[in-house]
Structure 1
Amino acid sequence: MRYHSIRPGQVWLDTEGKRIQAHGGSIITVGDTFYWYGENKEKTKAGSGIWHWGVRCYASKDLYNWEDKGVIIPPDVDDIDSPLHPAQYMDRPHMIFSQSTQKFVCWIKVMRQEGQKSTILTADHILGPYTVVRKDIRPLNMGAGDFDLVVAQDGKAYYYFERVHSELICADLTDDYTDVTGYYSTHFPNLQPPYVREAPAYFNRKGLHYLFTSGTTGYHPNPSQVACAKTFHGPWEVLGDPHPDDRSRTSYNSQITSVFKHPFKKDLYIALADRWIPNLPELVGDRFADGTQSRIAADLYKSIFDPEIDYVLKEEDKLPVSLDFDTCHSNYVWLPVRFDGNMAYLDWKEEWNIEDYE
């Protein structure tokens, strides 16, 4: 079938009729072609021991219909210690292109038992092959969680990442984008989950820098937050929740992973998000719609990370999923960003069209 619109939250198939597997992903434009890449979760099922099956990439001319270009960063099935082994918790690949080196640079985070680390790969073409140039580093000697990579107009690059369970960091990258320089700034300090901001998704509009972030409640969705600043390093002004009509307090049951500025449209920004648990409303029933389940998730994470909180989770309120569930069935929520002054909103749409934007 061919698509003629974007339908947030619905199953999305590639041009061969297979479910698209590009989670925690982003889009890069090369010429007149869009490339959407992300975690390949095709084999990730409960009890499988498989967290990922590499990084998969798709190509499109219209953002609706996506041709599978294959696994561009394959899993390393032979080395259990490799950051690319399927059992390792590899998340959120992000790629940028260096004009100076003419290389595509990909950063990945891996949740190791001894802490979260970063691995960097490079390639001459968006579709690879990719070569590991740095492995298991701790940027700035910090545990680096969810992140985003940004290239400024002057070619300088920045790395926004969650300093695990603490604060958000903006770090300058080296000229070849494969390491940090040592210069950084700290933002949104919080004591613990669920307050810590993760999943930073950056974009720039009319001279302002923006970040969408989420709270920290594992795979359970929570309220997003949008902030803006006049420089890459802030200071950041928190503007509020960009999902104005979401009574469930789950960001429309999704987590934003990146924001794509359409290069051939005047002012179209698209927030790309994962709906990790598509059947969450059915799993928890009436607790979903009014935000009760979101509050339960937040209370649970407060109790896990604050020993002074004596929180007993009722049997009927237990969360329906853990880290081990079928993310191979996760869907995507793509929505256009609406601006009102400096504020950025994401209004729910059952269906929408790229052509409706100038």
Structure 2
Amino acid sequence: MQHSIKPGQPWLDTNGNRIHTHGGSIITVGDTFYWFGENKEKTAPGNGIWHWGVRAYSSRDLYNWDDLGTILPPVLDDETHPLHPAQLADRPHIIHNAATGKFVCWVKVMHRNGEQRSSVFTADEITGPYELVTRGIKPLGMNAGDFDLVVEPSDGKAYYVFERVHSELIVADLTDDYTDVSGYYSTHFPRLQPPFVREAPAYFRRKGRHYLATSGTTGYFPNPSEFAAADSYHGPWTVLGDAHPDDESRTSFRSQISSIFKHPHRRDLYIAIADRWIVSPPDDLPDIPALFEQVFDVEHEGPREWGAIDLGEPDTSLADYVWLPIRFDGDRPYISWRDEWTIEEFDEVAPAGPPVE
């Protein structure tokens, strides 16, 4: 039994096996937490297996996780299917539609020609079985990269926050059934090119204020994450600055945030869920803080040349997780390093009812 969270350390399920929920999120159904993400158990450098479906685990305490297997299993007999292991399927997100009763899962798929599209699945239960509703969506005619899905609790309206690949961030309204975009959208954080373009958007709301965490586009190598805030989903968004200001490495503690989870029964507990994709970086890396200071500092007057750091083909099956609580100075969120922490450090609040978030 585990009784604490140890960021960056290997996390094993209740069977003693590595947890595989990479690029993942948590959804609460009743009194149970479900953690789901990319299953990398069969992925190895050079073997052509990008994923082995979407895997899920359940827990009552966020420490100890029971393996539920692949809730969206890999499809082996159709190389064009978004869940074929060779397809570059990433970052599944699941939301619940109270009006239809369906759980709706969006998955990003990167194509070898550079295009990035989305596929949508639905199920009656969080654990499936899921039906492929549509594949290859190019929302609003755009290449859609990293994303988050958000449901407004007051009226059930849903939003799709995604990176328009290598360009800007888009906030788009979803249709009533959450399986497509409605056509209404807004644009934010326009950038000329990587690494400045923001990706990996992770949304949360606190005290009526909307927040986004994003990272720069530097491939598998982590970079400084950034918080922004707004009074509405469609902004305007104001950049608040570095999410990890006391991290001297300028790598967001060697991680990239995939989602932010608000604990339904603990006061002011927001957990940044991140992947540490590169567990053992090469020894011959450049001076990362100096490099990122040059590249990302808006007041820097020198050259801003960027060449992605070559990490080869990392073994993502060994990627670890970095879960850290977000702390607040007024309305300003920060993330500080903790070698170990517990849910019980945060005051308990009575639940308003069975949550589905």
Aligned to 1:305: none
- CA gap of 1:219–1:312, structure 2 versus 1, over 3 A, is closer
**Deviations 1:111-132, CA, capped at 9 Å, x for gaps:** 0134100000000001000000
For 1:275 and 1:17, the matched residues in 2 are separated by 20
Give secondary structure in 2 for the equivalent of 1:283. Answer: coil
Q: Residue type matched to 2:5 in 1?
A: I
- Structure 1 residues 166 and 312, CA gap change in structure 2 (3 angstroms): closer
Report the secondary structure of 1:337's partner residue.
Answer: strand
Query: Does the residue aligned with 2:223 lie in a helix, a strand or coil?
Result: coil
Corresponding residue number in structure 2 for 1:302: none
Please report how far the alpha carbon of residue 283 of structure 1 lies from its aligned counterpart in structure 2 after TM superposition.
Answer: 3.1
Compared with structure 1, are the counterparts of its residues 150 and 252 closer, same or farther at alpha carbon in structure 2 (3 Å cutoff)?
same
Describe the SS at the equivalent of 1:140.
Answer: helix
Q: Does structure 1 retain, via aligned residues, the 8 Å contact 2:240–2:332? A: yes
State how far apart, in whole Å, the 2-side matches of 1:357 and 1:69 are. Answer: 28
The C-alpha deviation readout for 1:290-340, integer Å capped at 9, x for no partner, is x246569x69xxxxxxxxx99697xxxx83513x32100000000001011
Structural mapping, 1:193-342, within 5 Å: 193-280=194-281, 283-284=283-284, 287=287, 291-292=289-290, 294=292, 319-322=309-312, 324-342=313-331
Unaligned runs of 5+ in 1: 300-308
For residue 284 of structure 1, report the CA deviation from its aligned partner.
3.8
Mapping for residues 82-121 of structure 1, pairs under 5 Å: 82-114=81-113, 115-121=115-121
Quickly say closer, same or farther: Cα 1:176–1:245, change in 2 above 3 A.
Answer: same
Aligned to 1:149: 149
Shift of 1:266: 1.7
The answer to whether the 8 A contact 1:284-1:320 is kept is: no
The one-letter amino acid of 2:34's match is Y
Q: Distance in 2 between matches of 1:183 and 1:110?
A: 23
Q: Cα distance, 1:60 vs. partner?
A: 0.3
- Distance, in Å, in 2 between the alignment partners of 1:52 and 1:312 is 29
> Residues 74-89 of structure 1: matches in 2 within 5 Å?
74-89=73-88
CA distance in 2, matches of 1:82, 1:312: 35
Q: Which amino acid aligns with 2:107?
A: I
* Post-superposition offset of 1:191: 0.3
Matches within 5 A, 1:10-21: 10-21=9-20
Question: If each structure's helix is expressed as a fraction of its own residues, which one has the higher value?
Answer: 1
What are the ranges of 5 or more consecutive residues in structure 2 without an aligned counterpart? 297-302, 348-357
Amino acid at match of 1:225: E
Cross-structure match for 1:136: 136
Does the residue aligned with 1:168 lie in a helix, a strand or coil? Answer: strand
Deviations 1:90-146 (A, max 9, x none): 000000000010000000000013410000000000100000001101000100000
1:22-41 CA-partner distances (Å, limit 9, x unpaired):
00000000111000000001
Q: Calculate the TM-score normalised by the size of structure 1.
A: 0.91
Judge conservation of contact 1:34–1:61 (CA < 8 Å) in 2.
yes
Identity %: 63
Residues 248 and 292, structure 1, Cα contact 8 Å, conserved in 2? no
- Structure-1 separation of matches of 2:284 and 2:13: 30
| CA–CA distance in structure 1, aligned partners of residues 35 and 235 of structure 2 | 29
Cα distance 1:220–1:180, how it changes in 2: closer, same or farther (>3 A)? same
Q: Is the 8 A contact 2:195 2:306 kept in 1?
A: no
**What whole-Å deviation, never above 9, does each CA across 1:186-205 have from its counterpart, x for those lacking one?**
00000000000000000000
Aligned residue type for 1:221: P
Q: Are 1:271 and 1:336, in contact at CA under 8 Å, matched by a contact in 2? A: yes
Q: So what's the TM-score if we normalise by structure 2?
A: 0.92
Contact 2:196–2:217 (CA under 8 A) maintained in structure 1: yes
Does the residue aligned with 1:219 lie in a helix, a strand or coil? coil
| 2:200–2:215 contact (8 Å) kept in structure 1 | yes
Cα-Cα RMSD: 1.8
Instruction: Tell me, in whole angstroms, the C-alpha distance in 2 between the residues paired with 1:285 and 1:227.
Output: 30
Determine helix, strand or coil for the equivalent of 2:140: helix
Aligned partners of 2:12, 2:73: CA distance in 1, in Å? 21
For residue 242 of structure 1, report the CA deviation from its aligned partner.
1.3
CA drift at 1:287: 3.5
Using a 3 Å threshold, how does the CA distance of structure 1 residues 231 and 312 change in structure 2: closer, same or farther? closer
In 2: Cα distance, 1:311 partner to 1:131 partner? 45
Cα distance in 2 for residues equivalent to 1:85 and 1:283:
35
Instruction: Give the drift of 1:222.
Output: 0.2
Match of 2:8 in 1: 9
Hey, what's the Cα distance between the residues in 1 that align with 2:304 and 2:87?
33
